[in-house]
Amino acid sequence: MTTLTIRRPDDWHLHLRDGQMLESVLPQSSEHFGRAIIMPNLVPPVVTTKLAASYRDRILAALPEGHDFTPLMTLYLTETTDPDDVEAGFRDGLITAVKLYPAGATTNSQSGVRDLKKVRPVLERMAKIGMPLCMHGEVTSPDVDIFDREAVFIETVLGPLRESLPELRIVLEHVTTADGVDYVQSQDKNIGATITTHHLMINRNAILVGGIKPHYYCLPVAKREKHRLALRKAATSGDARFFLGTDSAPHTDPLKESACGCAGVFCAPNTMACLATVFEQDGALDKLEAFASLNGPAYYGLQPNDATLKLTRQDEPVTFPGKIQVGEDEVTVFDPMIPIHWTVEVSP
Ligand code: NCD
Ligand code: ZN
């Protein structure tokens, strides 16, 4: 197959930041993607519908002419979130989902949740109105090995929560382990999971072999090869519970290339070309549309996009800019470390 036309994809987990960074990175997503779930971990975080409304306005103001892109806003869950504000935002159509960060789990998560009991009234309200909860699925206790954080989260937090509130619609975000895949596949309703492009392409060797490679460091951290293979199998299977969330998370190079570098991989610019390569390698190009364009809207109760995206296989490898400029600084683009042969065009 040398060309493939799919419905325009959506990104169900995206960091756009704010200000100068927002202006520089937004076009990289809005060119190919019709919609994206926008992460609320700004500094300070987006904790109320009022803050989300003004953040949405800033995103729309930064959108290049001719790009058709809808930001789907989320609220950052804290132990003082007001269930009435959440419900009002959801009913107005302003807020699509609530995001749970366990406190201290990742970049800008200091105001996250320490004790799930404190947010129980919000979760109960969300279950009642059918509003999805996006979960960063990692525990943060210092005695849990960082490579086990996801599996322990599923066992000690997610499992019990779903038993006590089965009607709550959950998105287990950026799954990185076979444990995550198995758990999601063992559940028959109210659960979906996003998978990033980079977790389909790299394992933890990318970060640690031949010198430390900060641009491959993100959270959840990439795991060993058997986990990457389990993610590949889930993503390319067509299983409606799995869909694309790039977790494209830009940080400027000085912040990544540091003695205490930030977590985050910036994969927005070449995500669709990389995914075409992954699905081609696995003989599953016919499942790319389900993963990138159909399963996500179906889980969120939305229609797929009308426009289409055309992917074309080139004989010669395609090159991408290694970095994009952000003001005086640069942000490094995800390097998949294998040749990519696909170009991507949006058609009306
Ligand atoms: C994200 C960021 O930089 O905001 N980083 C990351 O490694 N994915 C936060 C997150 O989604 O965990
Ligand atoms: Zn993220």
State the residue for tokens 């309200």.
Answer: 125
pLDDT at 107: 80
Residue 321 lies in a domain: no
Query: For 1-5, 79-83, 129-133, 253-257, which range has the lowest pLDDT when averaged over its residues?
Result: 1-5
pLDDT at 110: 86
Residue 320 lies in a domain: no
Please work out whether the CB of residue 15 comes within 6 Å of at least one atom of ligand 1.
yes
Q: Which atom of ligand 1 is nearest to the CA of 218?
A: 7
pLDDT, mean of residues 129-138: 98
Residue 323 lies in a domain: no
217 CA from centroid of ligand 1 (Å): 10
- Per residue in 1-15, pLDDT (tens digit) is 699 999 999 999 999
Q: Which atom of ligand 1 is nearest to the CA of 263?
A: 7
Residue 41 lies in a domain: yes
Residue 40 lies in a domain: yes
Catalytic site positions = 247
pLDDT-derived band of residue 267, with 50, 70 and 90 as boundaries? very high
2 CA from centroid of ligand 2 (Å): 32
Residue 158 DSSP one-character state: I
pLDDT at 1: 64
138 CA from centroid of ligand 2 (Å): 12
Q: Which atom of ligand 1 is nearest to the CA of 15?
A: 4
pLDDT-derived band of residue 280, with 50, 70 and 90 as boundaries? very high
Domain count, the chain: 1
- Using omega within 30 degrees of 0 as the cis cutoff, is the peptide bond preceding 220 cis? yes
| Among 42, 30, 103, CA closest to 71 | 30
Residue 318 DSSP one-character state: P
Please work out whether the CB of residue 246 comes within 6 Å of at least one atom of ligand 1.
no
- Domain span at residue 196 reads 9-305
124 CA from centroid of ligand 2 (Å): 24
Secondary structure (DSSP) of 2-36: -EEEEEPP-EEEE---SHHHHHHHHHHHHTT-SEE
**Type of residue at 70:** T
pLDDT-derived band of residue 338, with 50, 70 and 90 as boundaries? very high
Q: Please report which residue ranges of 80-224 form alpha helices under DSSP H.
A: 83-91, 120-129, 149-153, 159-164, 178-185, 197-201, 205-208
What does the angle CA 240 – CA 243 – CA 245 come to, to the nearest 5 degrees? 165
pLDDT-derived band of residue 339, with 50, 70 and 90 as boundaries? very high
The residues, ordered by sequence, that sit 6+ positions from 37 with a Cβ below 8 Å of its Cβ are 11, 12, 13, 14, 72, 74, 96, 97, 134, 245
The residues, ordered by sequence, that sit 6+ positions from 204 with a Cβ below 8 Å of its Cβ are 147, 221, 222, 223, 224
pLDDT at 93: 98
3 CA from centroid of ligand 2 (Å): 31
State the residue for tokens 């699925």.
Answer: 137
d(CA 205, CA 212): 10
Counting ligands in written order, the one closest to the CA of 11 is 2
Please work out whether the CB of residue 140 comes within 6 Å of at least one atom of ligand 1.
no
The residues, ordered by sequence, that sit 6+ positions from 158 with a Cβ below 8 Å of its Cβ are 135, 137, 170, 172, 183
- Per residue in 191-234, pLDDT (tens digit) is 999 999 999 999 999 999 999 999 999 999 999 999 999 999 99
Q: Which atom of ligand 1 is nearest to the CA of 105?
A: 12
Does the pLDDT at position 348 exceed 70? Answer: no
What percentage of the chain exceeds 90 in pLDDT? 97
pTM of the model: 0.98
Does the pLDDT at position 336 exceed 90? Answer: yes
d(CA 96, CA 81): 16
Residue 339 lies in a domain: no
Please work out whether the CB of residue 249 comes within 6 Å of at least one atom of ligand 1.
yes
pLDDT-derived band of residue 272, with 50, 70 and 90 as boundaries? very high
The residues, ordered by sequence, that sit 6+ positions from 12 with a Cβ below 8 Å of its Cβ are 36, 37, 171, 194, 243, 244, 245, 296, 300
Please work out whether the CB of residue 41 comes within 6 Å of at least one atom of ligand 1.
yes
Residue 118 lies in a domain: yes
- Per residue in 19-28, pLDDT (tens digit) is 999 999 999 9
Residue 326 lies in a domain: no
- Calculate the average pLDDT of the chain: 97
CATH number at residue 217: 3.20.20.140
pLDDT at 50: 98
